[in-house]
Structure 1
Amino acid sequence: MEYLYLTEDADGVSYFKDKAFQLSLADFAPPAPAIYLSDPIKAERFVLVTLPAGWGGAKHPSPRRQIAFCLSGSLEVKAGDGDVRQITSGGIWHMEDVNGSGHTTHVVGSENVNLAIVQLD
C-alpha cells in the first residue's frame, strides 16, 4: 500500500519520498480468515480536518508527526526543495517535517478537502 512521505534533511529542508507499507498475511479478527496487515504504528490522537475550497496556507512545518488520509477533495503540497505533489481522495500522506522550514499546502479546485489525521507519538 503506497503513501507519500514528507521528511526533512539536516538543514531543515523538506522533501518527498514515495514509500509503501509492507503487508503480511496475518490473523486479525479470528475466526475470520487471515488478511494482509501492516506492522502497527503507535498513535496518540485522531482528528478530522476540513480545508475549505480556496484555502492555502503559508509555508509551515507539520505540527506533529502525523499521517493524513484524504477522504475527499484534492490538495497540492510543495516541499521545501521545490518538489510539488498532489494528494487526492484515497491518498495517504505521512508527515515528518516537524523542525525545519516546512512546506506549503493549497486546496485544488472548488471542493473542500476532508482529511482523517492520525497523530503519532
Structure 2
Amino acid sequence: MAPTPTDADAAPRIPYWHLWTDEQGVSRQTRCTLTEFDLKSMSPPADPQWQGRKTHGGMTVMVTVQPVGWTGTWHENPRPQWIIPLSGRWFVESMDGQRVEMGPGEISFGEDQGTREHDGRKGHCSGTVGPEPAVLMVVQMDAPPTLASPCRFR
C-alpha cells in the first residue's frame, strides 16, 4: 500500500557527520540530522516516497577504494563532498582531536576547506579501519564551501 501524506509523523530522520571549519580555522565534526523531506512521487505514477532537498549545480560522482591499512596524512577535502561508505570501515579525525569511525550506510559531509595549520594538523586525517578495504562513494560539489556553519543540510 502506498504511503499517504498523513504519514508525516513517519518522516525520516537521517544522521550524518559534518566535518567543518570554525572561525579560528580549526576543523571540527558535528553530528547532524537530515529532516526536511516531502512525501511525493519522484516520477508519477510511481508511489510517493520521502524526498529530501535537492542540490543543483555541477557535481562529480566517484567510487574510491582505500586499501587495508591506508592512511591519508593531514589534508583538506578537495571540495565540499558527501562520502558514503559502501563496504568496509573508515575513520576521519578532525583537528580538534575528535575521531569518528563509519561503516556502510553512514554518511559524512566533508567541508573542512579554509583550515589553518596548527601543531602539524591542517584539515583532517582519514584512513581505513579493520581487515578489509573501505569502498566509498564520493559526491563532490562544485559550489564553494560554507565556513563556520555546522549542520547546514537539514
State TM-score, norm by structure 1.
0.94
Q: Does 1:88 align with 2:103?
A: yes
> Gaps (5+ residues) in structure 2?
1-13, 116-121, 143-154
> Gaps (5+ residues) in structure 1?
none
Give the structure with the higher percent strand.
Answer: 1
Q: CA separation in 1, counterparts of 2:33 and 2:43?
A: 23
Q: Secondary structure at the match of 2:69?
A: coil
Computing the radius of gyration over CA atoms, which structure comes out larger, 1 or 2?
A: 2
Q: CA separation in 2, counterparts of 1:91 and 1:36?
A: 18
Q: CA separation in 2, counterparts of 1:87 and 1:117?
A: 14
Give the corresponding residue for 1:31.
45
Q: Secondary structure at the match of 1:57?
A: strand
Q: Does 1:20 align with 2:41?
A: no
Q: Deviations over 1:4-61 (max 9, x none)?
A: 1110112211111111222221221210111100010234111110000000111111
Q: Does 1:50 align with 2:65?
A: yes
Q: Deviations over 1:67-95 (max 9, x none)?
A: 01100011111111011111111111101
Q: CA separation in 2, counterparts of 1:99 and 1:63?
A: 11
User: What amino acid is the match of 1:97?
Assistant: D
State TM-score, norm by structure 2.
0.75
Q: CA separation in 2, counterparts of 1:38 and 1:19?
A: 15
Q: CA separation in 2, counterparts of 1:55 and 1:3?
A: 23
Aligned-residue offset at 1:110:
1.2
Give the corresponding residue for 1:61.
76
Q: CA separation in 2, counterparts of 1:20 and 1:30?
A: 28
Q: Secondary structure at the match of 1:19?
A: strand
Give the corresponding residue for 2:130.
109
Q: Give the number of equivalent residue pairs.
A: 121
Q: CA separation in 2, counterparts of 1:105 and 1:24?
A: 34
Q: CA separation in 2, counterparts of 1:87 and 1:37?
A: 24
RMSD: 1.1
**Segments of 4+ in structure 1 off by > 6 A?**
none
